[in-house]
Chains A and B, each alone.
Chain A
Amino acid sequence: EDKVVQSPLSLVVHEGDTVTLNCSYEVTNFRSLLWYKQEKKAPTFLFMLTSSGIEKKSGRLSSILDKKELFSILNITATQTGDSAVYLCAVETGMYSGGGADGLTFGKGTHLIIQP
């Protein structure tokens, strides 16, 4: 059974701190790893990683994948109260060769709270 484990489950820091969120996985037929941010409604897409060792960056957020050790990290620097959310890690597996996408297996998420 495919498994995605995130840590920590919750984290409280002060504005301006840097945080690192962890995601490890055990899946068959790995295709990609994705990070999402969920506030009150829908998960919103942050990063999609397919290659090991290549950092993806967007403003104060960055992420990297290690396919040998089967984990990824999400870094947020100079945190702001607007970064408070649940951050979800998900893995897409390539079970089907028909050319379409495959469903995602999600971790339980890290609940991040940024205090002013």
Chain B
Amino acid sequence: DAGVIQSPRHEVTEMGQEVTLRCKPISGHNSLFWYRQTMMRGLELLIYFNNNVPIDDSGMPEDRFSAKMPNASFSTLKIQPSEPRDSAVYFCASSFRDRELGQPQHFGDGTRLSIL
């Protein structure tokens, strides 16, 4: 089975540019998560969706960050305008959970973002 697929794998861009990260969750999963990992702060939850609906975006650092999930098989995380402090590895994860059954989150390989 295909795992969580993220693109691009690496992104290097200049400060002020718009950055769009993409994620395709595992088929059949009903929850999708965006995380950011840095040396200083570790892995932090940014936002997550259940059944394509955003549930909690309290981890999104600023209004420059936005995320969408237009359908069950695709999500984007956008940063506009980007700043050097946004440099990090961004992970997407997905899982299935209902009231009785909870499955673990599975992670994509991440997007390594560098803002110059």
Residues on A close to B: CB < 8 A?
31-32, 34, 36, 41-45, 48, 50, 88, 90, 92, 95-96, 98-109
In the bound assembly, the distance between CA atoms of A103 and B102 in angstroms comes to 12
- B48 contacts across to A, CB distance below 8 A: 101-103
Closest beta carbon of chain B to A50's beta carbon, Å: 7
B45 at the interface (CB under 8 A from A): yes
B51 at the interface (CB under 8 A from A): yes
In the bound assembly, the distance between CA atoms of A105 and B43 in angstroms comes to 8
One of B69-77, B78-86, B107-115 at the interface: B107-115
Residues 54-108 of B at the A interface (beta carbon under 8 Å): 55-56, 59, 91, 95-99, 102-108
Contact A92–B106 (Cβ < 8 Å): no
Closest to B95 in A: A101
- Number of residues on chain B facing chain A (CB within 8 A): 30
Closest beta carbon of chain B to A100's beta carbon, Å: 3
Query: Number of residue pairs across A and B with beta carbons under 8 Å?
Result: 74
Contact B104–A100 (Cβ < 8 Å): no
In the bound assembly, the distance between CA atoms of A26 and B30 in angstroms comes to 27
Closest beta carbon of chain A to B68's beta carbon, Å: 17
Residues on B close to A: CB < 8 A?
4, 30-31, 33, 35, 42-45, 48, 50-51, 55-56, 59, 91, 95-99, 102-110
Contact B104–A48 (Cβ < 8 Å): yes
List 10 additional contacts besides A45-B105, A103-B59; criterion CB under 8 Å. Answer: A43-B107, A50-B102, A88-B43, A90-B43, A101-B50, A101-B96, A101-B97, A103-B33, A103-B56, A106-B44
Contact B51–A100 (Cβ < 8 Å): yes
Closest beta carbon of chain B to A5's beta carbon, Å: 11
Q: Which of A34, A90, A98 has the most CB of B within 10 A?
A: A98
Q: Which of A42, A103, A104 has the most CB of B within 10 A?
A: A103
Contact A98–B50 (Cβ < 8 Å): yes
Contact B106–A96 (Cβ < 8 Å): no
Closest beta carbon of chain A to B91's beta carbon, Å: 7
In the bound assembly, the distance between CA atoms of A95 and B50 in angstroms comes to 13
Closest to B49 in A: A100
Contact A100–B97 (Cβ < 8 Å): yes
